[in-house]
Amino acid sequence: MESHISTIFLLGIAIFVSYFVGKFIHKITRLPSIIGYMIVGVIFGDSVLGIFTNEIMHNLSFITELSLGFIGVLIGLELNMREFRKQGKAVALIILLESFMAFLLVFVGVYLVTKDVAMALIYGAMAPASAPAGTVAVIKEYRAHGPMTKALYAVVGFDDGLAILIYAFAASFAKNILLKEATGVSQSLFQSLWHPTLEIVYSIALGSLLGILLGYILTKTKDREQYLVMLFAFVFMATGLSSMLHISLILTNVTMGFIITNTRRESVVNAINTEMESIVPLIFVMFFFLVGGELNIRILPQLGLLGIVYIITRSGGLISGAYLGGLLGKADKVIRNYLGFGILSQAGVAVGLALITMQRFSQIGTQHAVSIGTSVVTSVAATSIIFETIGPIGAKFALEKAGEINKAPASRRA
């Protein structure tokens, strides 16, 4: 009991300090406040002071998951298909090409360095996964509104689903190479792809079901107090069920928000957005403090050549892929030129995929397989520190170039 009380007390201190450090950094440097929140997290975490130990961070992991759930709903609520009719094709092509170009360039870059096809496939498979929280936080902080903002919401909302499929294909081919080396027997491609496909289908199905139910309840109520209570209840349910079923909590919550904004009247959607605005600042402070606490800056010296190649080729793939997708989809020039800079953040999903790779490859038992698993976990963890720092800065840069900062309607401002 005493340890729980001390953890709650420490979290209160962390929220207090993070908020004011974030505001100070924003005022002095004009950088997004979330950079300050993460810096405090790094200082309080195991990397520096060790106040938030690994055990405490593990006990608080549910806050990170719930925060991602709310961020997912925020993204989904912005994906109104009526507003995407003009640029829907462009956004779809951007999502496809930024993901595949990131995979391709990282694959080629890592192969040129290592001459190892299996390793290059796994590193390439990590590249498309993004971290939507940083982009959404910057959009909210700078009160951005416009075509670039809408496109960013769509890309970070849906590219994780595609990233999971790309990982499934690439990891399957890599595993088959390693199995053939070890036993001479390969695995069925269909078997490898079945579970990731089901994960996406189940995420969309669960999100749709909960979105329909939540939308119906909110349409029938006239008590605005219920909006926030019901929203919390359904995000908790969506996030908890996603974790229990081992499906994508982000995609589930994005789908829930998407269903509501496209099936319910505008007054209901606006009411939900208004209620969300009251809790968004707290969500971002806690989430990015905890992200910072998880970042182990002591592994940065282990980045090495592979890590540097990964950073350069992933960034180049996302930016060039977004440009090419925007060009083929006839998107506005500013979107195709700068959207790629807004989707560089990477953390949770990629780290999770890297850990899954290490676990599965260790079961193969060969030195080659184990070395690939260990290498990708170390590199992705180290590069996430870089991407979580430059990602929000890139998002701000993209929104500035689009001239969409401080353009949100007054009713939607925090």
Quick one: which of 291, 346, 336 has its CA closest to 314?
346
Q: Provide the whole-model pTM.
A: 0.80
Are the beta carbons of 302 and 382 closer than 8 angstroms?
yes
For residue 312, give both structure tokens.
């350069």
pLDDT lower than 50: segments of the chain: 1-2, 413-414
274-309 core/surface letters (b: 16 or more CB in 10 A; e: else): ebbeeebbebbbbbbbbbbbbbbeebeeebeebbeb
Q: What is the pLDDT of residue 413?
A: 44
Q: What is the pLDDT of residue 410?
A: 58
Q: What is the pLDDT of residue 3?
A: 56
Q: Set out the domains of the chain in order of their start, with CATH numbers.
A: 2-412 (1.20.1530.20)
Give the span between the Cα atoms of 384 and 377, in whole angstroms.
11
Q: What is the pLDDT of residue 189?
A: 59
Q: What is the pLDDT of residue 86?
A: 66
Quick one: which of 368, 319, 386 has its CA closest to 105?
319
Q: How far is CA 78 from CA 157, 324, 398, in A?
A: 10, 24, 18
pLDDT digits (tens, 9 = 90+) for 180-220: 776 665 556 566 667 777 888 888 899 999 999 998 888 88
